[in-house]
Structure 1
Amino acid sequence: MNHVVGTLFIGLLGALLAAGIVLAWRHYHPAEGGDEEGGDDAAEYLSMMIALLYALLLGLALVSVWELRGEAGTHTSNEAGALHQITVLAEGMPAPQKQRIEVLAERYATHVVQDEWPELDEKRPLGASGWALLRQLRAVSAAPPDATPAQEVTSLELLGQLSTLDEARRGREAVAEDTLSPLLWAGLAVGAVLSFCIVFFFGVGHGWSHLVMVMGMVGLTVFLGLLIHYLATPFGEVMGVQPDPFTRYFPQAATAGS
């Protein structure tokens, strides 16, 4: 909630700053009578084109980061679901093996929630500990020498869920390291400055309606920029995916080690 309030405050601050600049411009550059009738047709056309292109650029960036967050949520849900299914399938294995699988699954969930999620927020690659736990799970899920036909089938199903978990884990790591192109960030910054400069080169009127429109434009641009920034970190604290699927299936993972 604090981040949301901070975002709104920054947007409001930007709008007020824009209003102050417009008022100062009006004071030191009073409009002449001919300017009230409108600007040049070519300037109006170019300003509309710039605004349209910048809107398309904002839309492209927003869709890109939103899809990135969606992929992060899908990989997390698939990984946690596969881990939960492993504990369910373990019921069909011998008691000692079932207990080892459940212990390893709990350790894996705890490691993901407590250790890996802060690394994902900072876009660091996952360490070797999680992969080691996954290898231990795969080893302990193999059918014992004296397994019954039903236990052999259960072991194959366990290995299938482990493959799903492995794939989802790799996808989660790849999404965490992905980000919005620096070139696109530069385009967003340049477009914002250019769109704001249009206000002073074309159509700066004296009406209060114009002042409100300028404040709205700047405030909305700042808000969308911060929204894209937060969504560009798919596992971030503000608007990123949280390890809720893991803590839902393994509640002890949220409190272990705290």
Structure 2
Amino acid sequence: MDLGLKGKRALVTGASKGIGAAVAEVLAGEGCHLHLAARGADALADLAARLRETHGVEVTVHVVDLRVPADLERLAEAAADADILVNNAGDIPGGSLDQVGAEAWRHGWDLKVYGYVDLTRLVYARMRERGHGVIVNDIGAAGERPTTGYIAGSAGNAALMAFTKALGGSSPRDNIRVVGVNPGPVATERMTTMAAANGDLADRLAGLGFGRAAEPREVADLIAFLASDRAAYLSGTIVTIDGGMSSAG
């Protein structure tokens, strides 16, 4: 299926690995020119070089810390031509209320919750001036099925779900769509680390209906579809991709 993304320009955060890198790969394969943002300079550079060579697209690398307001401003200005924003960066720690201290909780939310909100605010204003745009928030299924073993992430994801629905309900007036994706377990380095530290999550992984976690590419394919005109009537919608976990008894 041709998603009609050729020649579009997309900004992807958290792009150096995991789902973010997979999103970059899929969008490049569809002919999108890319702005890739993350803290990992070497990983970003390697990915950008490979995407340029493999897909012949323009790739600009932005080494930024999305917790830093000045970096957010710089990124939004440098990627002012973006037709698509994929908010993906995040590292909210796992653990119960007693295990996640105030500093760790705020540090995680500064990147994922406030990072998404603040970057969206900056990019949305530019999209509105240009008269079009799509924002896809990669959130997480813990927002709809909260667990005590991932309490900071569950609460943060629930906040981003509300943010996505609220903004996406009015954004079509500006010819902008805002949608979200709620992945369940995904086979990334981060998920492996979290499963090892969280017995509840490890048990849930073992009982998945498909017998495995999702591959990053499977989530990336969904994000690319939602960013495309094939999903032109979707806004304020959050799609869950968790192998049926959210529907299980």
Q: TM-score over 0.5 for the alignment?
A: no
Q: Which has the higher contact order (CA 8 A, sep 6+)?
A: 1
Q: Which has the larger radius of gyration?
A: 1
Higher strand share: 2
Give TM-score, length-normalised by structure 1.
0.23
Q: Tell me which protein shows more helix as a share of its residues.
A: 1
Normalised TM-score (structure 2):
0.24
